[in-house]
Structure 1
């Protein structure tokens, strides 16, 4: 769960973090609860799961505790130790639920013997995240379960973020939990060769979270800032917990570069493409953070696809204007990326760079070769429309842009495509 209130102005809360001055009473408690849920819920779920051997029970106990906190903190005030309050409430909820289950005494003994002190200091997010991203689960289930158990979103919030129905999301979560229980998927960080494969799954899920924040059906160009912030926060958690994993720093750098552009990407609810963005609106501190993350990854001398994605983003950040972009370097990086990840999306993005180096005709040939894989993807049609327009094939370009217009549910993208067809963009 995340409280949606947003305020401005510094103050403080019992946890020592700033609370906006304008936030008082219920608003202040809701704001603090949102922060505590983000920082503590995954750790509590994982610790309870380790004690109980039941992810479903642990997650439900924490969810109940969050609901209790929402009511209690509004009426009785914020407790001295909000994280400890939530931890104890979740443990009590787990006990109550277990009393209603068969053979509860055996499980109760396990829970009673678990140490309560220091739980907040034990880093439990990563084992839980790796468990949620186990390859035995489908990609949709991995994302839904991560958003629920690790990030703490409600079913309704997950449905909005993933463009799904609440029923579909709930079914994915239930099936994923059943799969974890039936197959005994461990909540642990794997070692050796297994870690590299599983880490890439984890990083992919975090990347999909960030991308989902920018695909709001019926919305304008503005991202779901909460979901984007959650993804960036989770990327930092992974990088901080696994400091020797270069790819973790690579993904963090990539998301920081993209987040830095947000102020220029969406202006007045309208979508502004990278080539047209006012780069003075980019967040220079986030750009600096991204470069530092990419440098940390490079020092570990273990290159991978996420670092290459980030290096491409760095090329755009280095250019003062779109015309200054070193497109040959971008194309070279895409060639290296394609050797590691020959996916149709990577090849489509490479074609955009190819158009800048060799011209739209060469790029269109590459794009057309992807028709069987990407015909249902709106950006394939949009890129194709742009290339056809650059070649003066306006009628064909209008057809491509019309198809892209049909396939996207985002209103800002639809307006941009409609303007192209009308000759206004």
Structure 2
């Protein structure tokens, strides 16, 4: 596929699908028609040149394909003729962020598992192909296809349709949307396997979709916090790996961080926190902001970070927050205190390489035997090659 066609598709996919869904068809049928339109674009546009209105062209071609498919289905001969009162529940002229928001909410329907919702969001809203989704989520293409298929089947069974969500359902649905977007970003920023740490296609799609959600809900503090958290993580992304080796926060070149993006993110955090209630994404963003604004690692405000982690844990148990709190405690009260805090987490998660790596770092600080062995055990438990390289190098240095 021509890169220009793919770029247009990733930008226009939610709007094409939304336009088709207003006809009352299922997401599965709409996506089939949209994919046929995309195939036609990939053939015609390189030869004839792109149309002046790519979105209108895609919607027009996909609509014809959808109508043809509906007419040929004997069991569904009247589906394209939905009742006018049902069609009127959503304007024919909604804005960009409304389309994207409604598609996000649909893809995060409560009947779907999180993994299925992630795959469907990447397909229907981000416009990624099944192969791209599989590569980004580090699963076989057949697995990604199965997740998408199961999601569409679940939506069909639930008779889920594009359109307004009942007010009583909206908070839970938006929570699911934020969770899915956060999972897409964290997957892209810390790939669990393979030769890379980052997949910028995933992280940038997550940021783009969260920007749209924030534009639609500018006063929602958790959405604002989520956007700030992503921007802060993305601002230092290029300094996290050097020559396929993971670079810890203490050793990253802070002059290469995107300080304009950090400034914007800090402003979002300061905007969101006073609104309340304070949620987990706001607290995580606040922690990231303290790290990002410290002039160097030694001058980090660790007592503030520890207090923020404790506030985060007060909202509910979270292994990542427990690990972060133990590391912050080691910086405030010393490595011994950090090791003691890590013990229950290590007992509960004996194969979590991040917990073992944290123990190894603290053992190294205390010059205790066993640090090198802990680094090697952590390396053996991760499938990320940059992490393996870093951890094995630490073990070799101690040996």
Tell me the TM-score normalized by structure 1: 0.86
Higher RCO, Cα 8 Å, sep 6+: 2
Alignment of 1:74-153 (within 5 A): 74-110=46-82, 118=93, 123-153=98-128
Deviation at 1:274, TM superposition (A): 1.0
For structure 1, list consecutive stretches of 5 or more residues without a partner in the other structure: 4-25
- 1:331·1:354 contact (CA, 8 Å) conserved in 2? yes
Partner of 2:36: 64
Structure 1 residue 362 corresponds to structure 2 residue 337 = yes
SS in 1 for 2:373: helix
SS in 1 for 2:383: coil
Q: How many residues align?
A: 395
SS in 1 for 2:22: helix
C-alpha distance after superposition, 1:131-176 (max 9, x if no partner): 2222321121111111111111111111111121111111111111
Deviation at 1:190, TM superposition (A): 4.1
- 1:141·1:176 contact (CA, 8 Å) conserved in 2? yes
Deviation at 1:362, TM superposition (A): 1.4
Structure 1 residue 54 corresponds to structure 2 residue 26 = yes
Q: 1:189 to 1:384 in 2, by over 3 A?
A: farther
CA distance in 2, matches of 1:59, 1:198: 22
Q: 1:146 to 1:417 in 2, by over 3 A?
A: same
Deviation at 1:353, TM superposition (A): 0.7
- 1:158·1:169 contact (CA, 8 Å) conserved in 2? yes
SS in 2 for 1:59: helix
- 1:83·1:120 contact (CA, 8 Å) conserved in 2? no
SS in 2 for 1:385: helix
- 2:15·2:96 contact (CA, 8 Å) conserved in 1? no
For structure 2, list consecutive stretches of 5 or more residues without a partner in the other structure: none
C-alpha distance after superposition, 1:161-214 (max 9, x if no partner): 112111111111111111111122354564556433322221111111111113
CA distance in 1, matches of 2:218, 2:14: 20
Match of 1:421 among 388, 395, 398: 395
Partner of 1:286: 261
C-alpha distance after superposition, 1:42-65 (max 9, x if no partner): 122133223224010111211222
SS in 2 for 1:185: coil
Partner of 1:400: 374
Deviation at 1:126, TM superposition (A): 1.3
Q: 1:119 to 1:58 in 2, by over 3 A?
A: farther
Tell me the TM-score normalized by structure 2: 0.92
CA distance in 1, matches of 2:10, 2:115: 22
CA distance in 2, matches of 1:177, 1:103: 19
